A and B are shown apart, each in its own frame.
Chain A
Amino acid sequence: MSTAVGILLLLVTVNPPRRRSELPPDRQVVAAGAVLTFLVLIALGLVGEWLLEGLSISIPSFHVAVGLVLAIRSVVDFSTALPPGGEEMPGRRAALVPVFFPVLFRPELALVAVGVAVDAGRPTLLAGALLAMAAVVGWCALPSNRRFDRAAGVAFSAGLMVLAVDRIVDGIFAL
């Protein structure tokens, strides 16, 4: 996986336009949740290789698994309406719930973070996670337009599908 693909993969996995509909309107809360997500992704990247070794999972097999999860996620995101926001914790704790969990820190993003770290390297994860979280915060700063968000979310989902297939093929046909 090249650096560019790694960064792009993190960005389309997060899918900022689609996430906005689930996030609270308070930008500071969103930013705090994004920072928390970023830190957890970096932590996952640091322990990812050790985790895979401990679970006796080879990197190519992991790529296949990541690709399958991303493919399912991309189909769901591509074909369904923007999701509504969920329950929020009061005040700044909303950065934890729902911003960090369950909106931003999702299984597919955690898997991608590990995959990018072990394949493209931790600097790529660092750059990609930073860009993806900045994109979430930045997108929330734009004027709200659900039709535009829906269209942009579909475009991100299509990109995710392409990269999911790339992950699967890359994983299956690796030595």
Chain B
Amino acid sequence: MGVITWVAVLVALRLLVLQPERCGDATEAEVTAAAASTVNWLIRNQGPEGTWLYRYEAETDDDLGGYNLSRHAGVTFSLYQAAAADIHGAQEAAERGSRYLAKRLVSAGNGMAVDVTAAEVPIGPSALWVLALGERRLLTGDDAYDDTLRALGRFLEGQIEPSGAVSERWDRSEDKLVAGAYSPFFTGEAYFALARLERLFPEEDWDTPADRIGHYLAVERDEVEDRFPAVSDHWAAYGLAETAHWRDLTAPEADYADTLAGIFGPQIRYESQRTESWYTHRTRGRQTLGAGLGTLGEGATSLWALAGLDPQASDLHEAAAERSHCVAGLLIERQVGPAGAQQFDDPGRVAGAWFQFGVTQMDDQQHALSALLRTLPILDDEA
């Protein structure tokens, strides 16, 4: 009986609970190469006016159409991050992306927003372009877009409700925010954007609106907006790390960093157990999108950055490094390489990208690229 118990327990644990976490051991060179390959995808698949191939099916070689300005701005942000990591061609592609957005600025609230068509303008593109231009500003020191940054910041500030919640849309005809309309991710994007503005322009009081959102995210958001499970908010993690550049976190913000750690960690461990095998499909489900995995990496790397800046979060340092490293390994393993791309009709639209069910979308490359790039300092630190 004793032997049977031992065997039953160990076999059941291995098959059901403790499946191997296949993180690999990505090196700095491999991560850099994967990031460069992604940048090359974004360069090859950028049109003359600065937009990217949005959604593509490899098997049928079909451009599935559609476009999304938030994702355009997000890719632009990731490319500036790549430029900061000295990846060839990234900055030029990002500049084309920025010029496309600059043509879509409209007066909105006290500032300007990106979007020229919709009756209700979502704030995501504006927030993400602030992040892109902020990255550009840190990289180049060029002040050409400073007024745009401030105008976008004023627009975002005007979207904040008294509670610190952020309205996801601005009503063009009424010239005011749409009260009570919230997005799971735009709030974190606005938080990060305003925190970045405070870092760029410390004399201009951007910390006040950033702090209002940060406090709301830390103590109220998931309950007020009835979000269950709690939002896996990598943008908020970015925002916390950005805030730590100019002040220590408050106690609720530090607690929120722990909460986010408890959201990213299990997802990464679970994802790392997924393979393309029949068995893990049934016991762990299918592998997530490149974008989904990338956001987990962005979240974990942001917590690592935060841990290095704020002593209250220092206990996250080792685990954040481990999980970030794991995500980078998974991304590299799942990225389509040049050889794998050759079996398709248009390898240029396949190599360097991440696919799920044969389809890739530009934000798969955006989030994966950011996650890879933000793992580089961790690997450098470990070396």
Q: Which of these, B1, B2, B13, B265, contacts A175 with CB under 8 Å?
A: B265
Query: Chain B residues with Cβ under 8 A from A108's Cβ?
Result: 9
Q: How many residues of B contact A (CB 8 A)?
A: 28
Please determine whether B13 and A174 come into contact, CB atoms closer than 8 angstroms: no
Please determine whether B18 and A62 come into contact, CB atoms closer than 8 angstroms: yes
The docked-state distance in angstroms from the alpha carbon of A64 to that of B9 is 14
Please determine whether A175 and B300 come into contact, CB atoms closer than 8 angstroms: yes
| Stretch of A51-59, A128-136, A144-152 at the chain-chain interface | A51-59
| Stretch of B126-134, B213-221, B238-246, B316-324 at the chain-chain interface | B316-324
Please determine whether A68 and B5 come into contact, CB atoms closer than 8 angstroms: no
Please determine whether B262 and A69 come into contact, CB atoms closer than 8 angstroms: no
Please determine whether B262 and A102 come into contact, CB atoms closer than 8 angstroms: no
A19 to chain B, nearest CB (A): 13
The docked-state distance in angstroms from the alpha carbon of A108 to that of B20 is 20
Closest to B257 in A: A175
Tell yes or no: A107 within 8 A of B by CB: yes
Closest to A170 in B: B262
Query: Chain A residues with Cβ under 8 A from B303's Cβ?
Result: 175
Please determine whether B22 and A65 come into contact, CB atoms closer than 8 angstroms: no
Q: Which of these, A60, A68, A106, contacts B269 with CB under 8 Å?
A: A60
Closest to B7 in A: A107
Query: Chain B residues with Cβ under 8 A from A107's Cβ?
Result: 5-6, 9-10
Q: Which of these, A57, A102, A173, contacts B2 with CB under 8 Å?
A: A102
Closest to B318 in A: A175
Tell yes or no: B338 within 8 A of A by CB: no
Tell yes or no: B155 within 8 A of A by CB: no
Query: Chain B residues with Cβ under 8 A from A43's Cβ?
Result: none
The docked-state distance in angstroms from the alpha carbon of A152 to that of B21 is 40
Query: Chain A residues with Cβ under 8 A from B10's Cβ?
Result: 107
Q: Which of these, B2, B266, B316, B319, contacts A172 with CB under 8 Å?
A: B266
Closest to A110 in B: B6
Query: Chain B residues with Cβ under 8 A from A3's Cβ?
Result: none
Closest to A55 in B: B20
Tell yes or no: A50 within 8 A of B by CB: no
The docked-state distance in angstroms from the alpha carbon of A57 to that of B15 is 12
Please determine whether B17 and A58 come into contact, CB atoms closer than 8 angstroms: no
Q: Which of these, B22, B265, B300, contacts A60 with CB under 8 Å?
A: B265
Instruction: Return the CB mask of B348-373 against A: 1 if under 8 Å, else 0.
Output: 00000000000000000000000000
Please determine whether A175 and B262 come into contact, CB atoms closer than 8 angstroms: yes
- Name the residue among B13, B21, B23 with the largest chain A CB count within 10 angstroms: B13
Q: A55-B18, A57-B20 are in contact. Are A173 and B269 (CB under 8 A)?
A: no
Instruction: Return the CB mask of B317-347 against A: 1 if under 8 Å, else 0.
Output: 0011011000000000000000000000000
Q: 4 nearest interchain CB pairs?
A: A102-B2, A173-B262, A56-B20, A175-B261
A-B residue pairs in contact (CB < 8 Å), sample of 15: A55-B18, A55-B20, A57-B20, A60-B266, A61-B18, A61-B21, A61-B269, A102-B1, A102-B5, A107-B5, A107-B10, A173-B261, A173-B265, A174-B261, A175-B262
| Residues of chain B having any CB pair with chain A under 8 Å | 1-3, 5-6, 9-10, 13-14, 17-18, 20-23, 261-262, 264-266, 269, 300, 303, 316, 319-320, 322-323
| Residues of chain A having any CB pair with chain B under 8 Å | 55-58, 60-62, 64-65, 68-69, 86, 101-102, 106-108, 172-175
Further pairs besides A106-B5, A174-B319: 4, Cβ < 8 Å = A55-B14, A62-B18, A102-B1, A173-B262
